[in-house]
Amino acid sequence: MLTLEPVYMLLGAFLLFAAVADLRERRRATAAFWAILALPLLAGDAILAAARNGTHWPAQAMGVGVIALGVMAALGDRRTPGDEAALAEARRAEADRLGNRLFGPALLIPLVTLVVALAAQYGPAPLRALVDAKQSTLIALGIASVVAFAVALRVTGARVVGGLHEGHALLDALGWAALLPMLLATLGSVFAATGVGDAIAALVAMVIPTDSRIACLLAFAAGMVLFTAIMGNAFAAFPVLMAGIGLPLLVQRHGAHPAVLGSIGMLTGYCGTLLTPMAANFNIVPVVLLELPDQYAVIRAQLPTAIGLLLVNVGLLWGLAF
């Protein structure tokens, strides 16, 4: 059965490749950054097994490594210098030659992820047995990324090593922001475990009339946008708002449909993602890569979409969740 372990191993191997490449370029701090991040991906099971057997120093060492990552990220910009003029011109010429075919590999990622995830859940029994159902979505994403990489090599005619070097260059351009999705996704679980949702429920009960369905719905939608904007990711805001408002007030008190509330509520949170620099990997990194003069240019362009989508989502929640 295919599990997440091979996906983690591939990610760790790529990060180790990036670390070696940066070390060869004498970018020692950046090399150390990616090497530290690669270790738990390559040796995570061994670290966990050691902790269960009473040997805690590997886990403690990784804790020190996490602190080191934070320190290195705070010390300065880890991005690579811009391309030389000749290389940039060659890339533009290649992009003109390939045209819209360049978008094919990127579009394959969500498509293959959806197909594999659905097949792992609802396909024939022999097919379902090939993929761990509890981790099917992440495994499907890993498979889709490998497929997209292979197709990208075919479309561009590049070699595998060339593709890895381009991925390394993009990773260095992203820098510490590449860690934001996984860090912010875990932040919501930490907040939920520490009782932040209960605190929010108490505050909401003091501010709004909890017997009013529309008041609770507006508080949930606004809270998803606000918390997402603060924490930079709807995955971090969702468990907190569901624990504080969604489940106790909308589902249990007012009878909202949990599946509808969860799906549209998550989409509502992404209205906040469109509006915050905390979602650096979405809103700040593209500014850097495109060398835009206004660091908030992406956020300004997304503002009308965010407001319009928020209003539509509130209407959908009111019409479909109850």
According to the model, what pLDDT value does residue 314 have? 94
CA distances (Å), origin 284, targets 30, 228, 288, 296: 20, 16, 7, 7
According to the model, what pLDDT value does residue 234 have? 84
The residue count of the chain comes to 322
- Per the CB < 8 A criterion, the answer to whether 150 and 19 are in contact is no
Taking the model in full, what pTM does it have? 0.73
Helices of type H across 99-159: 103-122, 125-128, 136-156
pLDDT of the chain, 322 residues: tens digit per residue: 788 888 899 999 999 999 999 898 888 888 989 999 899 889 888 888 888 888 888 888 888 888 888 888 777 654 455 555 666 677 777 777 777 887 888 889 999 999 988 888 888 887 778 888 788 888 899 999 999 999 999 888 888 998 898 888 888 877 777 777 777 767 767 777 777 777 877 887 788 888 899 999 999 999 999 988 887 778 778 888 888 889 989 999 999 999 999 999 999 999 999 998 888 778 877 787 677 788 888 999 999 999 999 999 999 999 999 8
Q: Percent helix, strand and coil across the chain, each rounded to 5?
A: 80, 0, 20
According to the model, what pLDDT value does residue 300 have? 92
The C-alpha atoms of residue 232 and residue 179 are separated, in whole angstroms, by: 12
User: Tokens 């905390």 sit at which residue?
Assistant: 278
Residues 6 or more apart whose CB falls under 8 angstroms from that of 188 comprise 231, 233, 235, 236, 237, 238, 239, 240
User: Tokens 């660091």 sit at which residue?
Assistant: 295
The C-alpha atoms of residue 246 and residue 42 are separated, in whole angstroms, by: 38
Neighbours of 197 (CB within 10 A): 22
Domain ranges of the chain: 1-81, 88-157, 181-320
- How many separate helices (H) and strands (E) can be counted in the chain? 16, 0
- Per the CB < 8 A criterion, the answer to whether 59 and 39 are in contact is no
Q: Which amino acid would we find at residue 156?
A: T
